[in-house]
Each structure stands twice: as structure tokens, then as C-alpha cells.
Amino acid sequence: MKNLLMISYPFPPNASAGAVRSERFSRYLGDFGWEVEVITIKPRRDLFEDKQRLSTLGKYVKVHCTKTFDPWLWLIDKRPKNVLLRAIRSISIELFSFPDHMLAWVPFAVKRGLEICKTKQVDAIYSTSPPHSSHLAARILSSLTHKPWVADFRDPWTLNAYRSKDWIESLLLKIERSLETGVLNRASAVLANTQANRENLLKAFPFLSKKKVIHVPNGWEEFPSKVYRAEKKEDPLTIVHAGTFYPRFKPYGLLYALAAWRDGKRPPGIPPLKKDDIKIVLLGSRDEETARIISELNISEFVEIRPWVALDEARRIMCQADLLWASLGTGKESSTYIPSKLFEYIAAERPILGFFPEGEAERFIKQTGTGLVFTDNDSSVVIRSIYETMCAKGTREPSWFKPDHKVINVYHITNVTVRLSLILENSL
């Protein structure tokens, strides 16, 4: 067996979507001759812990949890009344977010990584971001140990569409671009989770070779979806959104359509919407902006916001849904992204309602035949599609749900991990 040192800030029992990719890679790499030593943080007390996921890691994965120091978390909860103090807090939050608010974790990760390298023969290093400071820790470890290193970008760094545009951010961007350049130069291989993100990297950093930057998508894995679905009881048409929203992308097209339908703004031939017709479950979506939108649209009677739950329970809820909702809004700024939840949705084998611009996520859903994509917020089209599902409920699937299992199998986690294993082998 060869040994891989994995630097992954989010990792079980962290229940965030960011932990899924590295957790799956760590488990499946054992089938390809790799033992994995994972460096992550100790669980935060204020976040939900999914301890069940630790029991599934297997004998080839060992997790090392380290301390960290994060002034940003302390500042973000402060709400000073004094104008000057508010200004100082705002600037401090920006500064402590450079390049992300996990930067102070780097020395803790490096220290633990060196300790592991002294006691065990490490053959390669793998780091995953965000947070992008994880790559800084891996770069230091690679330099000190002279081990090959694969840098995996789950999201872009300086090319990220989520970045704010204020003056402080603009000043820091140049420094971050320099840091990113150093990471891309030093790494033996660079992974991008979508083809568009790969192409953007090659365009923005001309010194990169096409062989060095490799597209490695996320992957799905089976769970007992049919067993979970068999437990479903008769209820209103249930639409589930699993995970958080990104309000900056205005991802609320479905909620706008629901409000329009409730207010009588519906296409010809569609009956009025009644309270018991539809239930939307937002699983783990507890941000203030989403709650505000629901309140302003006056659709609280149709929407249920639930807290984070363990992965198995989340899967059960997804499988018992009639439709699964995913949205990054329909603006072109999100065209290069594929939310990781889509891979869980595929495994749940339920029809997907996607709100995305023309781009990666839209193509992914269409190629796999797993759902319907709305590239604008035309409520009448959304209402007709939901009504079709209501009419078909209990008898058949919607006409637009035609999974192409040959394409879907390409994204199975085993096939994706084969790619990663070959990349690691080639880096040695």
C-alpha cells in the first residue's frame, strides 16, 4: 500500500457539502492501493456533527483532528452600535478573510503533517479547497518533504464568482493571485471539478500546461433509495432542497413561481393552488435572506425550514420527495458550477428541478436525463412543470425524467476515483 497525506479542512464529522468529495476519495482510494492520513480540524461546537460518517471510513483511513485559531468567527457575531467600531469590525472581517478566514489553521496543519511524515512513509500529498489556505499548508509540506502534491479545486479561488467587489477586496485580490500562482506552479497536478473551471484556469494562468490541469468531477454512490422511498406516505407534492443557498445568485425562482401561483397568476388550464397541494422542505437552509424572501412572498404555509440532519436521514428525506430542487440562480456568473448536491440527488433517483444558467449544471442534468432545467425565472413554465408532476403523482414519473444510466455511471465514485488514483500514481 502507498500512503497519501490528505489536507482537508472540511471532513467528517463536519456535515458540510465541502466534506463529501474528500471523504469519498479517502474511502475509495483504499481499493486502489492507497492508505490515507487525513488532516482536518477538530469539530466546532456550533456546527452539526455527523458522527455516523466516521464509522464508514474503513481501515485504510486515519483522521487527525487539529486545533485552529479563527478571529473571523468571533468578529462575525459582534454587532457594535458605535459607528466607528462597526467600521473597524467591517475592515477586520475583510482582513481576517484573507485569503479565507481559515488561514490561521495553516501552521497547525503543517505541524501535524510533519509529525505524520516523521512516523510514516508518505508517498504523496493531496489538498482540497475551499478553503484555499489548505493549499498553502500543502505547499509548505511539499516543499519541506519533497513529496509530490496534487491540488484539488472544488471551487475557483481568485476566479470565484462569489467574491465581493469592495475596495479592500480589490487590494487583496492581487496578493491572492500571487499566492494562487505559487500554488499552481508548485503542485504536481491541479484538479478542477468542472470542465469550465479547468478552461478558466488555463486561460487565466497561461503558464499552466493542459496536461497539468485535469478535470475530475464529483461522484455519486449508491444508498438504499428504493427502501427509503417505499416508506413514503401519501402527502402533498413534496419538493426538497438539501443544503444551503447562495443568496447572492438570487436562487429563489421556485419560490417566486409558487407565490405567483398562489396569487392567481397562473397559466390557462392550471387550477388555483391550495395549501395542501405542495410542501417545500428546505433542509439545512437557515440563512436570514432565505427566511426574509419566504416572509416577503407570504408563502410560509407552503415552506418548512428544517435543521441539519445526519447524512442517512437527509438521504431518506430526499428519496421520499417527489421532486428535488437545486438552484444557483439563472445569472451567467454561476454557469461554471455544478453543486455537489446534484450527485446526491442522482443517487436518490428522484426528478430534479434545476434553476441554472446555460452552462455546466444545465448540461449535466440534461446529459444524465435526471431532471428539468429552467434558465430563467418564467413562473408560468415552472408552474406547468410542477402541475404535470402533481397530475402524475402516484402513477408515473414526469415525462421529462428519463435517466440515462450509461452516462450516470461515468460519474460513479468508483470511476471518478480511478482517475484520481492514476493522477496520484503519475505524480510519484
Calpha distance 131→304 (Å, rounded): 31
pLDDT in tens, 373-412: 999 989 999 999 999 999 988 788 999 999 999 999 999 9
Mean pLDDT of 260-267: 94
DSSP letter string over 158-196? Answer: TT-TT---SHHHHHHHHHHHHHHHHHHHH-SEEEESSHH
Calpha distance 370→403 (Å, rounded): 5
Is pTM beyond 0.85? Reply is yes
- CB neighbour class for 2 (10 Å; exposed up to 12, middle 13-18, buried from 19): middle
93-107, 242-256, 405-419 — which one is most confidently predicted on average?
405-419
Mean pLDDT of the chain: 90
Considering the chain, what percentage of its residues have pLDDT values greater than 70? 91
pLDDT in tens, 343-375: 999 999 999 999 999 999 999 999 999 999 999
Q: Quick check: 91 pLDDT over 70?
A: no
Task: Write down the pLDDT at residue 310.
Answer: 85
Task: Write down the pLDDT at residue 290.
Answer: 94
Considering the chain, what percentage of its residues have pLDDT values greater than 90? 72
Calpha distance 31→301 (Å, rounded): 48
Residue 167: band (very low, low, confident or very high) from pLDDT cuts 50, 70, 90: low
Segments making up each domain of the chain, as ranges:
2-219+412-427, 225-410
Residue 328: band (very low, low, confident or very high) from pLDDT cuts 50, 70, 90: very high
In angstroms, how far apart are the furthest CA atoms of the chain? 71
Compute the chain's Rg from CA coordinates. 22
Q: Quick check: 162 pLDDT over 90?
A: no
Task: Write down the pLDDT at residue 285.
Answer: 85
pLDDT in tens, 230-255: 776 678 999 999 999 989 899 999 99
Residue 43: band (very low, low, confident or very high) from pLDDT cuts 50, 70, 90: confident
Q: Quick check: 48 pLDDT over 70?
A: no
Provide the β-strand partners of residue 239.
Answer: 280, 323
Does 24 or 165 have the greater pLDDT score?
24
CATH superfamily of 2-219+412-427: Glycogen Phosphorylase B; (3.40.50.2000)
pLDDT in tens, 118-148: 999 999 999 999 999 999 999 999 999 999 9
Q: What is the CATH number of domain 225-410?
A: 3.40.50.2000
Task: Write down the pLDDT at residue 213.
Answer: 98
Q: Quick check: 206 pLDDT over 90?
A: yes
Cell of 316: 431518506
Q: Quick check: 281 pLDDT over 90?
A: yes
Task: Write down the pLDDT at residue 396.
Answer: 87
Task: Write down the pLDDT at residue 73.
Answer: 64
* Residue 368: other Cβ atoms inside 10 A: 22
Task: Write down the pLDDT at residue 92.
Answer: 63
Q: In a 3-state reduction of DSSP, which class is residue 244?
A: coil
Task: Write down the pLDDT at residue 161.
Answer: 75
Q: Cα 83 vs. chain centroid, distance in angstroms?
A: 36
Task: Write down the pLDDT at residue 84.
Answer: 66
Same fold, 2-219+412-427 and 225-410: yes
Residue 165: band (very low, low, confident or very high) from pLDDT cuts 50, 70, 90: low
For the chain, the first-to-last Cα distance in angstroms comes to 14
Q: Quick check: 83 pLDDT over 80?
A: no
Distances (CA, A) of 307 to 105, 160, 313: 27, 28, 12
